[in-house]
Structure 1
Amino acid sequence: MAEKLLRRPEVEARTGLSRSTIYAWISAGEFPQPVKLGARLVAWRESDIGDWLESRQQRNA
């Protein structure tokens, strides 16, 4: 079964981050890299976002 891909608005909703923060953190290596689906189309693996959220919660615990 193929893994679900999340588009940016859904990633923003799940993480509470803005578009600019997401891309700044990607550049800094602090957020998962998106998967390129086309010339102007990217998405994130649901598992990557889940793992990132879990690591943030553990770090803040």
Structure 2
Amino acid sequence: MQRQILEFLSPAELAKRLNVSRRTVFRFVSAGKLPQPLRLSKRTVRWRWADVEEFLAKHERPKRGGGRR
């Protein structure tokens, strides 16, 4: 039997993987472009990388940019 390693990402780590800012990660969550994070405590959230990959495969990948110039 193969073991699956669960990888939990902080907002900063997820932002780095997606090449966006931390704030944009939360904007994407609010807009339904990323899954809701797991709340570990009052001020700590994490995402399972496998959940993010699955969500992005089923939905359109978030686009970067379009901000003010």
Normalised by the size of structure 1, how large is the TM-score? 0.73
Shift of 1:2: 6.0
1:20 Cα deviation from its structure 2 partner: 1.5
Aligned residues: 55
RMSD across aligned positions (CA): 1.7
Which residue does 1:3 correspond to in 2?
6
Any unmatched runs of 5+ in structure 1?
57-61
Q: Match for residue 27 of structure 1? A: 30
Q: 2:20 aligns with which of 4, 10, 17?
A: 17
- Identity between Structure 1 and Structure 2 (%): 35
Q: TM-score, normalised by structure 2?
A: 0.66
SS at match of 1:9: helix
Distance apart, 1:13 and its partner CA: 1.1
Structure with more helix by fraction: 1
SS at 1:3 equivalent: coil
1:45 is matched by which residue type in structure 2?
A: R
Identify which of structures 1 and 2 has the higher relative contact order when contacts are C-alpha pairs closer than 8 Å and 6+ apart. 1
- Contact 1:11/1:49 (8 A) holds in 2: no
